[in-house]
Structure formats: structure tokens, C-alpha cells
């Protein structure tokens, strides 16, 4: 059984402004860096065998801050990226009401995210793997595992999933 500790990246300025980021490569803000450092301290006593991350700056930086504290390298998989929001990237909720959506489907995002997690599980049987990803990606996994998505996971929030015999299941 592989245990996946799924973590949403730390805060960015666009998170604070309520703007969709998608594939737009925004860095962490100072608060986001403090969130990542706090996460690193919280995880210092836990078993983590490997760290994987989305390659986008906000996830990459979060993973690298944790990895530095844990003394582990970070591997990257583009499949862990947030949904590509296309022409909605950078827009607030009010601005999106004025624009017809043209971007990645939720189903395609879900399939891409789950495929990335399966690849990671194949490489790490019986390991505990920290996976730094995005809020939307976490919601896609939750919906696939539980049949529904939880409210958006806060920045640097966590969700535990097991993968065994090809099946994902939530860990309480």
C-alpha cells in the first residue's frame, strides 16, 4: 500500500485576491512561504519517503521548502498541475461572469491528476509520499475517491489517501 499525503501549495498573491491561477506560474507570497515552513516543521517528525510536486512555481517552492527541512529531493510531474483555466486565468469570480469559459474540462483534469498519482504509486509501493499539488487537483481526487469533493482545502492543507491494488481510498 502506498500512502499519499496530498498537500495544497502555500498562498500566492492571486489566492489572496481570489483570482484563478490554473497554469499561470505564480510564486508564493511571503505568507505562503511561512505556511510552507510551518508545514515543514509539522512534517519533520513524520515518515515521508519521497516528495513529488507539480512543476508550477507555487507548488514547487512549497515542496522545496519542506524538502529542505526533511533532507529529501523533490521529483516533479506536470500531471499534478492545476486545471488549465484557459481564458479565465487571472480573473476573479465577478470578472468570470462576463466571459464564456474556454479551458480544460474537469474530467480531463481529473484523469490527468489520477494518472500522475498512479505513476507515483507505481514508483513507490509501500512508501509514504508527500505530493504537493493544487486546490482543484485535490478536489478532483476527493471526488474520484469519495464521490464528492470537500470544500476547497486551505493553502498548505493536507488530505491522506491510500493506494492499494489499483484503488484509491481516503484515510481518516
Catalytic residue among 9, 124, 134, 163: 9
The verdict on whether 9 is a catalytic residue reads yes
Q: Are 92 and 132 in contact (CB under 8 A)?
A: no
Measure the CA–CA gap between 109 and 84, rounded to whole angstroms.
Answer: 8
Catalytic residue among 82, 109, 134, 163: 82
**What string of DSSP letters covers 59-70?**
HHHHHHHHHHHH
C-alpha cell recorded at residue 89: 486565468
Strands (DSSP E) contained in the chain are 2-8, 50-53, 74-76, 128-133, 158-164, 167-170
Measure the CA–CA gap between 31 and 50, rounded to whole angstroms.
Answer: 25
Would you give the DSSP letter of residue 7?
A: E
Would you give the DSSP letter of residue 28?
A: B
The verdict on whether 154 is a catalytic residue reads no
Measure the CA–CA gap between 83 and 6, rounded to whole angstroms.
Answer: 16
Report the catalytic residues: 9, 82
Amino acid at each position: 500500500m502506498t500512502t499519499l499525503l496530498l498537500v495544497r501549495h502555500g498562498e500566492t498573491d492571486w489566492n489572496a485576491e481570489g483570482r484563478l491561477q490554473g497554469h499561470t506560474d505564480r510564486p508564493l507570497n511571503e505568507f505562503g512561504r511561512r505556511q510552507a515552513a510551518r508545514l515543514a516543521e509539522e512534517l519533520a517528525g513524520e515518515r515521508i519517503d519521497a516528495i513529488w510536486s507539480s512543476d508550477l512555481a507555487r507548488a514547487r517552492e512549497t515542496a522545496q521548502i519542506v524538502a529542505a527541512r526533511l533532507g529529501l529531493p523533490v521529483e516533479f510531474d506536470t500531471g499534478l498541475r492545476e486545471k488549465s483555466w484557459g481564458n479565465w486565468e487571472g480573473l476573479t469570480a465577478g470578472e468570470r461572469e462576463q466571459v464564456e469559459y474556454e479551458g480544460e474540462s474537469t474530467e480531463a483534469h481529473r484523469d490527468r491528476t489520477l494518472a500522475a498519482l498512479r505513476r507515483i504509486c507505481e514508483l513507490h509501493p509501500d512508501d509514504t509520499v508527500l505530493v504537493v499539488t493544487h486546490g482543484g487537483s485535490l478536489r478532483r481526487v476527493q471526488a474520484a475517491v469519495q464521490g464528492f469533493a470537500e470544500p476547497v482545502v486551505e493553502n498548505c492543507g493536507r488530505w491522506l489517501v491510500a493506494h492499494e491494488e489499483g484503488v484509491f481510498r481516503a484515510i481518516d
